[in-house]
Every structure is written in structure tokens, then in C-alpha cells.
């Protein structure tokens, strides 16, 4: 088996038929799909059980006894996988029809431990926006560069299965990918980039990761702590600092403000980070961030709570109405 595709599912009855159907369109056929139902309260498991009897690809259908979150659920899929390479897919997303064939050809040439590829953000309207990994990685020469510049999304990557030996996910409902990606990159000996959009991320405003909640910003904080605990001390310090800039000073604070936290919590997040990284604004990787994120971080440095609250409202409006 060349590829194992791991698909965690939770209350996905409205989407899973399309996801499984799109997989039948793959031009490459040496793959298995592992669906793990994470204690859904709808008919997700029944639909999967029925579909598995009719699709042309090999399927494994698993079910958690209770809702355990995407981190634990993905870990179950990794443990059950038999492929030489692992891919991850959300239950409402899909791969382009030539994705696996393009990956197979690329891997046959490069024998990579990790392959990064591009993706699309797809909307109900049919509009798609390119999510580029390859552009940022033009500047990468070391594993530290990849740790710093990688997007925190497992579905935009392909992994040699043996790279996962000893890797476990934190028990989080958000930011679980962000926690393990730097660890995986730190173990890789050969990293490559395939400059083609292979994956479609279906953007839903009501999805778990897009609904304001205090649990989301807390997950970002726990995720970063988990990464730091698992990494080799002193080897990737500047990259880990930047990983924290992206996911604590930007990700956690953005989601904290969206959830309506008070100024005291906002200040505490910044102060805790600055105890470890007092000169974070001088990190060399900040220049690679988009201008709007650099402006956001400048206001974080100055602790301008009310100005950032305005930014968050505009950010939400842009996502929901301008589809950016």
C-alpha cells in the first residue's frame, strides 16, 4: 500500500458522501482510506459503513466510543495505517483527482520524508482561492526554515509513515496539527515541495475552528507548550520562537479577542510569552509574514487592546463577506 489517507469524522453526515465520492475519482489507485468516526451523534458512522461496501478503494471504518477530539482521532488513524506514506483529510474536504498520481511521481523522484504542496480554499459559491506553500518555501534551506514557515495544517503535507514513530497528538480540539508539525519536520532528512494545488479546504463559517470560543485560544497556548516540551532544546530556537509568534502572539490572541476576553487576559498572554522571548520582534522570520499580520504584531508589541479588537471585527467581516 503506497498511501494511507486518514479522515477523522464528527457529525459529518451532510458532507461525507461528497468526500468519499471525490476519492473515487483519483487516477492513482494504490491507497487506503481510514475513516474514524469520533463519537458522532448523527448518522455519520452508518453512512460510512454503507459507503465502504461500494467504493473501489480499500477502506477501514473505525469508531471512538466517545467524542475524543481530532488529535486523538488522527492518532488512531496513524496507528491503523499500512501505507508507505500518510495523508490527512478533513471529512468535508477533498483532493484534486490527479493529487495522488502527482504525489507518487514526485516521491518516486525525490524520495522525500515530507512533501509540502499547495491547496485551495473552496467556498459554497464555487469560488476557490489558492493557498500557496511553495511560494514561502522558496526561501527554505534548513529544517529550521521549514519549521518557521510551515502552515499549521497536516492536509497540506504528505509524510513518510516511519516519520510518525514515537509521535503522539495532544488531546486538543483545535491546533493539534500545529503542535506536531514542527516535531515531524525536526525529524525529516529530506523535505521537498510540490508546487501544485492538490487539496481543497472547504471553508464553512460555522465550522468548529471558525466559531469564536475561549477553548480555541487556550488550545493554541497548549499546543505551543506541547511543541516546546517535545523539541530538542537549543537546536531550533529561533524557529520555535517564530512558531510561537505565529501561534501565540497572533493565533491565540486573535482567537482570544474573537471570543471576547478582557484586557487582562490579553496582557497576560503577551507577558507570559515575553518572559521567554523578550526580543521576539527582532525574529528574522517576521519579515516573511503578510503585511496585515505584521501590523497586528506591531500592535501586540504595544499592547493596544482596543485597536486590535477593531482589527478582529474587520477580519471576521472579511472572511464572511469578502471571501478572502
pLDDT confidence of residue 234:
83
How confident is the model over 131-150, as a mean pLDDT?
91
How confident is the model over 249-267, as a mean pLDDT?
96
pLDDT confidence of residue 321:
57
Q: Which residue has the higher pLDDT, 133 or 302?
A: 302
How confident is the model over 218-242, as a mean pLDDT?
94
How confident is the model over 96-110, as a mean pLDDT?
98
Q: pLDDT per residue over 4-35, tens digit each?
A: 999 999 999 999 999 999 999 999 999 999 99
How confident is the model over 159-170, as a mean pLDDT?
97
What are φ and ψ of residue 86, in 5° steps? -110, 140
Q: Which residues contact 202 (CB under 8 A, 6 or more apart)?
A: 15, 90, 92, 93, 94, 122
For residue 212, name the pLDDT band (cuts at 50, 70, 90).
Answer: confident
pLDDT above 90 covers a percentage of the chain that reads 85
pLDDT confidence of residue 156:
97
Q: At 201, list the grid cell.
A: 479546504
DSSP string, 163-232: GGTT----S-SSSHHHHHHHHHHHH-S-EEEEEEEEEEEE--TTSGGGS--HHHHHHHHHHHHHHHHHSP
Q: Which residue has the higher pLDDT, 318 or 76?
A: 76
For residue 319, name the pLDDT band (cuts at 50, 70, 90).
Answer: low
pLDDT at 2 exceeding the cut of 70: yes
pLDDT confidence of residue 232:
79
pLDDT at 208 exceeding the cut of 60: no
Amino acid at each position: 500500500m503506497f498511501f494511507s489517507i486518514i479522515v477523522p469524522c464528527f457529525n459529518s453526515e451532510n458532507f461525507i458522501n461528497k468526500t468519499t465520492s471525490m476519492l473515487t475519482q483519483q487516477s492513482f489507485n494504490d491507497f487506503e482510506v481510514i475513516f474514524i468516526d469520533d463519537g458522532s451523534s448523527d448518522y455519520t458512522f452508518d453512512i460510512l459503513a454503507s459507503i465502504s461496501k461500494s467504493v473501489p478503494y480499500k477502506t477501514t471504518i473505525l469508531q471512538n466510543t466517545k467524542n475524543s477530539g481530532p488529535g486523538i482521532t488522527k492518532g488512531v488513524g496513524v496507528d491503523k495505517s499500512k501505507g508507505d506514506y500518510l495523508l490527512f483529510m478533513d471529512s468535508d474536504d477533498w483532493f484534486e483527482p490527479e493529487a495522488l498520481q502527482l504525489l507518487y511521481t514526485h516521491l518516486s523522484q525525490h524520495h522525500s520524508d515530507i512533501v509540502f504542496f499547495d491547496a485551495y480554499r473552496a467556498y459554497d459559491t464555487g469560488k476557490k482561492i489558492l493557498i500557496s506553500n511553495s511560494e514561502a518555501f522558496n526561501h527554505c534551506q534548513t529544517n529550521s526554515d521549514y519549521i518557521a514557515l510551515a502552515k499549521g495544517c497536516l492536509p497540506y503535507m504528505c509524510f513518510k509513515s516511519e516519520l510518525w514513530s514515537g509521535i503522539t497528538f495532544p488531546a486538543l480540539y483545535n491546533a493539534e496539527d500545529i503542535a506536531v508539525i514542527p516535531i515531524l519536520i525536526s525529524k525529516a532528512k529530506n523535505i521537498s515541495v510540490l508546487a501544485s494545488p492538490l487539496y481543497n479546504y472547504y471553508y464553512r463559517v460555522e465550522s468548529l475552528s471558525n466559531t469564536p470560543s475561549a477553548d480555541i485560544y487556550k488550545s493554541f497556548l497548549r499546543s505551543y507548550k506541547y511543541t516546546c516540551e517535545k523539541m530538542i532544546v537549543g537546536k531550533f530556537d529561533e524557529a520555535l520562537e517564530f512558531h510561537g509568534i505565529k501561534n501565540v502572539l497572533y493565533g491565540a490572541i486573535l482567537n482570544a479577542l474573537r471570543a471576547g476576553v478582557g484586557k487582562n487576559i490579553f496582557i497576560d498572554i503577551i507577558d507570559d510569552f515575553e518572559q521567554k522571548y523578550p526580543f521576539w520582534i527582532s525574529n528574522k522570520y517576521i519579515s516573511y509574514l503578510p503585511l496585515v499580520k505584521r501590523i497586528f504584531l506591531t500592535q501586540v508589541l504595544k499592547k493596544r487592546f482596543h485597536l486590535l479588537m477593531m482589527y478582529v471585527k474587520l477580519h471576521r467581516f472579511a472572511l464572511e463577506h469578502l471571501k478572502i
